[in-house]
Amino acid sequence: MLNAIHNKLDELFPEMVDIRRYLHQYPEVSFQETKTAQYIADYYEELGIPYEKNVGGNGVIATMKGGKPGKRIALRADFDALPIQDEKDVPYKSKVDGVMHACGHDGHTASLLTLAKTMKDFQDELPGTILFLHQHAEEYAPGGAKPIIESGALNNADAVFGTHLWATTPLGVLQTSKGAFMAGPDRFEITIQGQGGHGGYPHETKDAITIGSQVVSQLQQIVSRRLDPLETAVISIGQFEAGNAFNVIADKARLVGTVRYLANDVQEKIISEMEKVVKGICDTNDATYSINYEKGYPPLVNNAEEAELVLHASENVKEIHTAEEIKPVMAGEDFAYYTIEKPGAYFFTGAQKDDSPYPHHHPKFDIDERAIPIAAKTLIAAYLAYQEQ
């Protein structure tokens, strides 16, 4: 049956491209994906596959019960876009100013929708039940996965699998991990209140820029000097805002950044050490401060058995020439919530486009659309392999 399914997916490749390009032209940012959700629902309506809308927000879950007994497995695709201006010169360029699919979620949606269309033809032969899980709001915490789980929609699921079209991995390569796979991404904002004054009289001020610069420098030493060298973490400052004139010493500085980690105890250590660093520097300089630390998604940790299953299942996908385990990446993903609750695994499907070397979240981001059916083929291969356990 698997070969026949794969052949049908190949036949639907033009439709996959059409869906992906339509969604690429009409993107919607996280928590505002109402038209995209309706597009997905309308597709299942036309297929005659029962579905539920507004799951945990804008989520859509379609359910296909096979003709043979088996397990209940969710296959997940996200569908939100990003607040980025599309700078590609292509016919399917975003028509929405300041919004684009800069992470491949349009391709994820096209992959899962056409997989559902394919499986409709094989429903009588299908063991178990497929939950086609279309998730909103992956890009921004608190995300869509957590409320979908809290809705109870996956209470009876036995496992969950998902993939990300990965634009920096070559076509035909599958990557995953049998443990920690993606980082926990947190956000923090530090405000330093000093005392401004004339640029010619620094001794009469409490220079927020100087103080902030010390904070930036010392925060880097949390990772290099206060954590076990065998632990993995990143502290990055993305914004440093202070001052408004060349001859005025700033009274306030605002630092915004991210923490990435793979172990929960490392996260807590960083939070504690960050407080010590900022307090110590501000106390020394007679300044005050505030820290707003926002915990994001937990690290995405694959279940080892399910990750191994994906690796083996990929051997049945002729377009995949390399299936490999890789070290964790420091990007985040709210698929993490699913593997906390259920057995499952997440993997990257190589989608690097030869003439588009741009990474995820770049204004010129694009994918090799030949990866879309590869993603669908691997998901259904994993589904069927899990049914045989």
Helices (H), 171-263: 208-221
Q: Are 304 and 174 in the same domain?
A: yes
Q: Assign 269 to helix, strand or coil.
A: helix
Q: Is 202 helix (H, G, I), strand (E, B) or coil?
A: helix
Residue range 191-245, pLDDT digits in tens: 999 999 999 999 999 999 999 999 999 999 999 999 999 999 999 999 999 999 9
Q: Are residues 61 and 209 in the same domain?
A: no
Tens of pLDDT, residues 320-372? 999 999 999 999 999 999 999 999 999 999 999 987 789 999 999 999 999 99
Mean pLDDT of the chain: 97
Residue 2 neighbours by CB distance under 10 Å: 16
Taking only the tens place, the pLDDT of each residue in 168-187 is 999 999 999 999 999 999 99
**What single string gives the DSSP state of each residue in 293-309?**
EE--PPPEE--HHHHHH
| Mean pLDDT to the nearest integer, 154-158 | 98
- Residues 342 and 249 placed together within one structural domain of the fold: no
**Domain, as residue range, for 222:** 184-294
pLDDT at 356: 79
CA-closest candidate to residue 379, choices 138, 182, 110, 145: 110
99-108 pLDDT, tens per residue? 999 999 999 9
Pick the last residue of a domain from 274, 294, 314. 294
Q: Residue 37 — very low, low, confident or very high, per pLDDT cuts 50/70/90? A: very high
Q: Which two tokens stand for residue 359?
A: 């990474």
- Out of 260, 294, 328, a domain closes at 294
Is the pTM for the entire model greater than 0.75? yes
Domain count, the chain: 2
Could you say which of 251, 275, 294 is where a domain stops?
Answer: 294
Which of the residues are catalytic?
A: 80, 138
How far apart, in whole angstroms, are the C-alpha atoms of residue 338 and residue 385? 19
pLDDT greater than 90 at residue 287: yes
pLDDT at residue 292 is higher than 90: yes
